[in-house]
Amino acid sequence: MEEILDITPQQKETENRRYFLYLVLLPVYQIIAACTKPKIEPLVTLPTSPTNTDSDIFDALKNKSLLAGDFINLEWRKTKETSSNLEFSNNGGNNWQLIPTLPEQNIHAWDIPQVSTKEAMLRVVDNAGKQLAVSAAFSINPTFVVMLESHATLAKAGAYKIFTEPRLGDFVLKRDSEAFIAFNLICTHLGCTVRDNSGFLKCPCHGSEYDINGAVTRGPADANLKSYNTKWIEEKGRVLVYV
């Protein structure tokens, strides 16, 4: 004889209550579990000054436009991870390369590589290569880097030197007391290359003259030589000329 399982109305109500409690409590449990999950603390900070070491890498690099040849200080902060590495990508995270650091030191000065990209990123990975933290994309603009130790003639204010660089052409780099200035040698009259005339610049085509700051002093040219922005990084003995 077949056994028939009959459920009383009381049993059915108990079952319904259990099911209702399950539906209500499950999301609550999931929220609590998410909140108590161990969080990855920021491992890298980018202090903007020696006394400001609290800005997180994500905020510090957001919408930033950095200069190749410049440097930024990365604070290597050890937390729960026993070991971790810092990596750089110049193409939005498609490829990564290790940034050699000295983990026992608090601050690592990262020399920004000579690339031109709007998709630069930094990330922290553990020893197994698992990504722990990643920055927002930021820009790096290329520069021409002059190492002053290799150009003794630029040691004094007022000194200048002519450089040749494929992206900038021939240009003058001149040292003033507080800064370096740079300008190209293309005459603003009809485009001949002006020449150094021991303290001023003269165009061989129609005789225009410029002073050693690139300002026109004699026509037919009526505009100054085109200038380039520069950045003097005294602590590194470098001058960056913006490309």
Among 192, 215, 233, 243, binds ligand FES (CB under 6 A): 192
Residues 95-154 close enough to bind ligand FES by CB under 6 A = none
Among 61, 72, 137, 203, binds ligand FES (CB under 6 A): 203
- Annotate each residue in 13-42 with x if it binds ligand FES (CB under 6 A) or - if it does not, as one string: ------------------------------
Residues 216-235 close enough to bind ligand FES by CB under 6 A = 220-221
First to last CA, the chain: 94
Among 108, 123, 174, 189, binds ligand FES (CB under 6 A): 189
* Closer by beta carbon to ligand FES, 179 or else 223: 223
In the complex, the smallest distance separating the C-beta of residue 151 from ligand FES, rounded to whole angstroms, is 28
* Closer by beta carbon to ligand FES, 207 or else 237: 207
In the complex, the smallest distance separating the C-beta of residue 243 from ligand FES, rounded to whole angstroms, is 24
- Annotate each residue in 158-187 with x if it binds ligand FES (CB under 6 A) or - if it does not, as one string: -----------------------------x
Nearby residues of 18 by Cβ (< 8 Å), 6 or more positions away: none
Give me the residues that bind ligand FES (CB under 6 A), please. 187, 189-190, 192, 203, 205-208, 220-221
